[in-house]
Every structure is written in structure tokens, then in C-alpha cells.
Amino acid sequence: MTKTVILLGSSRSKGNTYKIVQQLMTRLDADLIDLNEYTISPYDYESKNRGDDFLPLIKRIADDYDRLIVATPVYWYTMSATLKIFFDRLSDCIRIEKETGRKLRGKSLGALCCGSEAMPTPAFFTPIKMSADYLGMNYIGDVHTWISDTDIEEDVKDIINDFASQLV
């Protein structure tokens, strides 16, 4: 059985992206990790940040999960700073924690974003796809979602359900 984790990378732990993730989790058996609950410092070439939460977190993810789905709001046409810092720190898995980096090979990576508009941002998922490729992970797809007011519209629920069906 494939073990899945969703990594929520939003500045608001209970914001619109969380609502989308909750909808996805009604269709997908997955654990949720809110990156806001961890202290993850920006990438540091001298690795002075080894004492933060990133290395224990990525080791747990690499050991416990087969499939990772990153979830982020669309901030200024790209992923959130929270998720970007997490991706930047994956460099640690290439430089100082190579064993963990090797454990990521062959795992699956998918992505979802939540914006305020139905129109997706061009090339939004490209950095995530390329990161998966660089790490030897299988990119399993992505989905653009949106919340116009406060509730998830039925057509967005259908998009989320279609994405979940592709993953099952």
C-alpha cells in the first residue's frame, strides 16, 4: 500500500489551500504535515542550520512515505516562501545528508496549488517537476485550484476529485 503525505506550505495554516487539501483528503488516504509547525531555516552553504527541524523532518518523510504531494497557495505567481525554503533545503539531501537523498529516489511527487483565479499561472509547476526529475523522483501530476470567496465551488471539487482518482 502506498503511503502518502501532503506537505502544506502556506503562510496561513487554515487558509484556502488548507480547505483544498481537506477536500483532497476526503478522497485520498494521506497524512498531513503543516510546514508552519516546523522551524526550517533558509538554505545555508555552510550548513549552520543543521539544528533546525528540516533534517529530522525530511528523514521521517523519506523513511515513512512513498508519495509526497506538496500544496501551496499561489503567491506572486509562484509557490509560497514556506514551500520554497523547504525545496531549497532539499539541497542538504545532496550535500550533507546523501543517504536521505538516495531514499527519495523512486518516490512519487505531486503538487497542487490554490489561487484566487481559475486561470492557472503559466509554468507554475515547472520548478517542482524539475526538482522531482533532479532528485530521481517520479512526477505524478499537479492540479491548479482556486477559491473565489470562502467556499470551494463544485467545479473545483470535481477537479480535486479527478486529481485524487489519478493518484489512487
Helix (H) or strand (E) holding 25: helix 16-25
Q: What is the CA radius of gyration of the chain?
A: 15
Question: Which residues span the domain enclosing 65?
Answer: 4-167
Question: Exposed e or buried b for every residue in 10-22, given b needs 16+ CB within 10 A?
Answer: beeeeebbbbbbe
Q: What is the pTM of this model?
A: 0.96
Provide the domain count of the chain.
Answer: 1
- Please determine, for residue 1, whether its predicted confidence score (pLDDT) is greater than 90: no
pLDDT tens for each residue of 70-100: 999 999 999 999 999 999 999 999 999 999 9
Domain of 47: which CATH number?
A: 3.40.50.360
